[in-house]
Structure 1
């Protein structure tokens, strides 16, 4: 059973979360986690001005995702940073190229899930996850979130991401904060949870 983790990460925060998601997927028997980056749309000089080149190099070993790979997977877990309360432009452009899959019903019945990041604690994480779900519903995905059985999302002793809609992390205004242990645990839990449900559906 293949679980595709398709994500965009500019500075490495979503990449770290994606690795944790993959670890969770791997905890389910016969589940294979496949990490893929969605295509970059920004030119190199813009990425350099953004200070994102170093992080991009660190992720260069992850292959770029193709639209066809979505149809080959049993489940797809998408990762996107928040851009004004919505998915990033790179992810939007990637999904906008899935019209043929929609026309063929190629993704109907697959498990879909989403995780995200934002600069600030209230920077639109939940709206990003929920608005992403709209696209998944149009494709016929069976949407899976992060249930409250992951009790780390109920912590009040520290600032942390995570909601019933999916795992998330807070990056800081300058991207200085990497995912906390609790946020990585949430991502890992979500990966395991999605893979377990996908395995039941496959059976």
Structure 2
């Protein structure tokens, strides 16, 4: 079994709920980046021990939150020593708009993973893109490079759509399975 860790920032709770779904699917612990962009005690060690790291942040103004960027900048310490080289990486994000430039956030995560010498895991899911598709179908938003969800700006965390959360859960399962194969 692979050791997957989900490290994320959430501004209003929606990304945290998606992080929980991803972590559930992966059987992974959550590491929350706080409102000041810092990790809790022992989190850097937990990330060092991980076989796979899943990044998560809301998409704000076309990219991840500044708190996630602070974490990414701080990851230059493990980068300098090649500590995360050959780990598997993946990512997820949430925004209020259907598109919301979520791909820019996933691309940011991908670039960070590549700078660390990592291996990226996409979601591997077919999109729900037929006329019969419903908003609660898995991968309704049709992304391939990670998991995404959409929460209207005035929606509570409890109003997140089950299809988006199921997409996150299945994405977590895929990351864990890929990391287990990679670990062999």
Post-superposition Cα deviations, 1:27-55, rounded to whole Å, max 9, x if no partner, equal xxxxxx1111013218xxxxxxxxxxxxx
Matched, 1:171 2:151: yes
Partner Cα distance (1:23, 1:143) in 2: 20
Q: Is this contact kept in 2: 1:11–1:175, CA < 8 A?
A: no
Correspondence for 1:121 among 93, 98, 102: 98
Equivalence map 1:111-150=2 (5 Å): 111-147=88-124, 150=125
Partner Cα distance (1:181, 1:166) in 2: 17
Q: Would you say how many aligned residue pairs link Structure 1 and Structure 2? A: 176
Matched, 1:190 2:171: yes
Offset of residue 18 of structure 1:
1.3
- Which residue does 1:109 correspond to in 2? 86
Comparing 150-159 with 77-86, greater Cα deviation is found at: 150-159
* Structure 1 segments of 4+ aligned residues over 2 angstroms from their partners: 63-69, 150-162, 173-179
- Which residue does 2:76 correspond to in 1? 99
CA root-mean-square deviation: 2.2
- Which residue does 2:13 correspond to in 1? 12
Correspondence for 1:40 among 35, 39, 50: 35
**Structure 2 alignment gaps of length 5 or more:** none
Partner Cα distance (2:67, 2:42) in 1: 12
TM-score normalised to structure 1 length: 0.79
Equivalence map 1:46-65=2 (5 Å): none
TM-score normalised to structure 2 length: 0.86
Three-state SS of the structure 2 residue aligned to 1:16 is helix
Offset of residue 2 of structure 1:
1.4
Offset of residue 64 of structure 1:
6.4
Q: Are residues 65 and 15 of structure 1, via their aligned partners in 2, closer, same or farther at CA, if it must alter by over 3 Å?
A: farther
Three-state SS of the structure 2 residue aligned to 1:151 is coil
